[in-house]
């Protein structure tokens, strides 16, 4: 099996020598941020590097790990993915919102869509 397929790395994912170590680090940071939120040690947690690789039901990413941590203390978790791909499926269908955007969209146009949706 191709190593890229084995590790769920596709054309839109960065590939470099220390990718595994980076994934370990940003996953730990995402979970750490969720722990701080759960224990009220922080009001906001942002991981600018997180979410680089896609999550699936049986292949968790850092965001899935962070959400699972948040669900230990919270009944609901809102996940906002600004790289929206679909409308969901099965029981989750229509819990996602897909807004196709043209290449080269400017900040004002993006904000005019993002703010009303959120």
Residue with tokens 């084995």: 6
Active-site residue, selected from the candidate residues 39, 54, 74, 76: 54
Q: How confident is the model over 33-62, as a mean pLDDT? A: 82
pLDDT at 30 over 90: yes
- Give the tens place of pLDDT for each residue, 77-110: 987 776 657 677 788 787 777 777 778 889 998 8
Is residue 53 annotated as part of the catalytic site, yes or no?
Answer: no
Count Cβ atoms within 10 A of the Cβ of residue 9 and give its class: 0-12 exposed, 13-18 middle, 19 or more buried.
middle
Q: Which pTM value belongs to this model?
A: 0.68
Cβ proximity of 26 and 52 under 8 Å = yes
Listed in sequence order, the DSSP H helices in the chain are: 3-6, 19-38, 62-70, 107-117
Q: Please report the pLDDT score of residue 39 as a whole number.
A: 98
Looking at per-residue confidence, does 70 or 10 come out higher?
70
Q: How confident is the model over 67-71, as a mean pLDDT? A: 95
Domain count, the chain: 1
Q: Please report the pLDDT score of residue 85 as a whole number.
A: 72
Q: Please report the pLDDT score of residue 89 as a whole number.
A: 77
Domain of 7 in residue numbering reads as 3-117
């Amino acid at each position: 099996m191709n190593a890229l397929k084995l590790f769920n790395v596709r054309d839109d994912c960065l590939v470099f020598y220390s990718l595994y170590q980076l994934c370990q680090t940003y996953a730990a940071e995402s979970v750490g941020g969720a722990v701080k939120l759960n224990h009220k040690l922080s009001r906001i947690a942002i991981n600018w590097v997180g979410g680089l690789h896609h999550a699936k039901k049986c292949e968790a990413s850092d965001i899935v790990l962070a959400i699972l941590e948040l669900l230990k203390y919270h009944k609901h978790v809102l996940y906002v993915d600004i790289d929206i791909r679909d409308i969901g499926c099965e029981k989750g269908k229509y819990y996602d919102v897909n807004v196709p955007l043209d290449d080269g969209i400017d900040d004002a146009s993006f904000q005019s869509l993002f703010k009303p949706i959120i």
